[in-house]
Amino acid sequence: MTARITGIGTYVPDKIVTNDELAKIMETSDEWIVSRTGIHERRISITEGTRELALKAARNALAAAKTEPEELDIIILGTSSPDYHYPSDACYVQGELGAGNAAAFDISAACSGFIFAMNIVRGFFEAGIYKTGLIIGAETLSKVTNWSDRSTSVLFGDGAGAAVLKAGETGIIDMIMGSDGTMGDVLKCPSRTMGNFLTGEKPEAGFMTMDGQAVFKFAVKKIPETIELLLERNHLAKEDITYYVLHQANERIIEAAARRIREPMEKFPMTIGEYGNTSTASIPLLLSHMERQGMLKPGQKIIMSGFGAGMTWGAALVQWV
Ligand code: COA
């Protein structure tokens, strides 16, 4: 028994922010951003939080999968920018959907969150515990972005993507998950500073910081490693893979990964240009784009691969059903 995706849904805020608009509030330019990242624009939420984006993506995924909320056994929401410490954004979604039979919780695996959520649900299916799950990647990173730090703020965007998973004989073939906590300082966002009646300090909200070059090097090494491991242990050749659906962090990272595994760029679809890096939402946003373009066909084998703060990484070899 494994898990297969039976419906994908997405939602992004209406507000498009172009590179030129960012150049009005910080020292940057469209030329710098496009040449270093491939990003042209991103969506920024004005009023909707992570849970609202997640809920809308979830509703779209359920409609696409023709699944009723009551059928769901489990809802897992991956996010690095939850609206609340508790209750979880997943519980909010569960309540709003009326998915009363589902256990719901958030996970924190940064940009690998969608892949991690998929693997957890697959595990429940393989163990025969659950049959229907909803996984969501949702972010309003704009609220944890330091808008006076041009080296991070131009990279990220807000959005959400969700997928309904059902237990079946075909679908996910194999998955990888990994973490390296010794690299935690490379990309981080503290929740709140310490502060209480003993210190006399008021806790302050934290903002994201990043060593961009260290992340770049990590990604360019890790993505090919996960792809090659999946191919090797499933006795597959690169020719067997139709698409590599990579976390959309930077066009140059994707190009470097493609060069390392000697695969053509046509096999690496991208949405980084229009959404920027939406962290946990980037893989489902890309899958949805591919679906709308008619690129996904039953029988195709695709590899999804993500990496992010932690550091974390994850990959999935999937036969599209
Ligand atoms: N606009 C204009 N100049 C900028 C800038 C911006 N938005 N951000 C940084 N710069 C400047 C720097 O200050 C630096 O100037 P200096 O040489 O005068 O000091 C110069 O550009 C080069 O900076 P550097 O950090 O070396 O650039 P880079 O080529 O490494 O590109 C990233 C920076 C962030 C685009 C790149 O490192 C990257 O994409 N890393 C991966 C990040 C990522 O994917 N994170 C998410 C992981 S899930």
Confidence of residue 208 (pLDDT cuts 50, 70, 90): very high
Confidence of residue 6 (pLDDT cuts 50, 70, 90): very high
- Cα-based angle 5, 37, 249 (whole degrees, multiple of 5): 30
How many residues are present in the chain? 321
244 forms bridges with which residues in the sheet? 303
Q: Nearest CA to 78 among 161, 11, 138?
A: 138
- Cα-based angle 308, 88, 124 (whole degrees, multiple of 5): 70
- Torsion angle (degrees, nearest 10) of CA 274, 276, 281, 285: 20
**CA–CA gap between residue 235 and residue 231 (Å, rounded):** 6
Are 284 and 303 a contacting pair, CB within 8 Å?
Answer: no
pLDDT tens readout for residues 148-201: 999 999 999 999 999 999 999 999 999 999 999 999 999 999 998 888 999 999
pLDDT tens readout for residues 106-156: 999 999 999 999 999 999 999 999 999 999 999 999 999 999 999 999 999
Taking CB atoms and a 6 Å cutoff, what residues make up the pocket around ligand 1? 28, 32-33, 36-37, 111, 150-151, 154-155, 187, 210, 212-213, 215-216, 249-250, 277, 308
**CA–CA gap between residue 75 and residue 132 (Å, rounded):** 9
Rg (CA), the chain: 19
* Range in 84-93, 187-196, 252-261, 288-297 with the lowest mean pLDDT: 187-196
The dihedral sign for the CA sequence 59, 64, 70, 74? negative
Which pLDDT score, from 0 to 100, does residue 258 have? Answer: 97
- 243 pLDDT more than 90: yes
Q: Nearest CA to 163 among 278, 294, 247, 287?
A: 287
Task: Report how far ligand 1's centroid is from the alpha carbon of 151 (Å).
Answer: 5
Q: What Å distances lie between residue 255 and 180, 247, 262, 269, CA to CA?
A: 24, 12, 10, 11
**CA–CA gap between residue 42 and residue 17 (Å, rounded):** 5
Atom of ligand 1 at shortest range from CA of 307: 48
> Could you tell me where the beta strands, DSSP code E, fall in 24-151?
41-43, 74-78, 103-107, 132-139
Which pLDDT score, from 0 to 100, does residue 223 have? Answer: 97
Confidence of residue 259 (pLDDT cuts 50, 70, 90): very high
Mean predicted lDDT score pLDDT of the chain: 97
**Does 247 qualify as catalytic in the annotation?**
yes
The dihedral sign for the CA sequence 45, 47, 53, 59? negative
**CA–CA gap between residue 137 and residue 110 (Å, rounded):** 10
Are 46 and 104 a contacting pair, CB within 8 Å?
Answer: no
**Does 91 qualify as catalytic in the annotation?**
no
Terminal-to-terminal C-alpha distance of the chain: 14
Determine the average pLDDT of the residues in 220-225: 97
- 265 pLDDT more than 90: yes
**Does 277 qualify as catalytic in the annotation?**
yes
- 205 pLDDT more than 90: no
> Which is the catalytic residue, given 19, 91, 111, 289?
111
17 forms bridges with which residues in the sheet? 42
Kindly report the protein residue whose alpha carbon is nearest to atom 21 of ligand 1. 151
Atom of ligand 1 at shortest range from CA of 252: 39
Which pLDDT score, from 0 to 100, does residue 194 have? Answer: 85
Are 308 and 76 a contacting pair, CB within 8 Å?
Answer: no
> Which of helix, strand or coil describes residue 288?
helix
Task: Report how far ligand 1's centroid is from the alpha carbon of 221 (Å).
Answer: 19
The amino acid that residue 50 corresponds to is T
DSSP type of residue 156: B
Retrieve residue 247's tokens: 């976390």
> Which is the catalytic residue, given 60, 119, 250, 277?
277
pLDDT tens readout for residues 34-77: 999 999 999 999 999 999 999 999 999 999 999 999 999 999 99
Are 107 and 117 a contacting pair, CB within 8 Å?
Answer: yes
* Pocket residue to mutate for ligand 1, from 37, 108, 152, 216, most atoms within 8 A of Cβ: 216
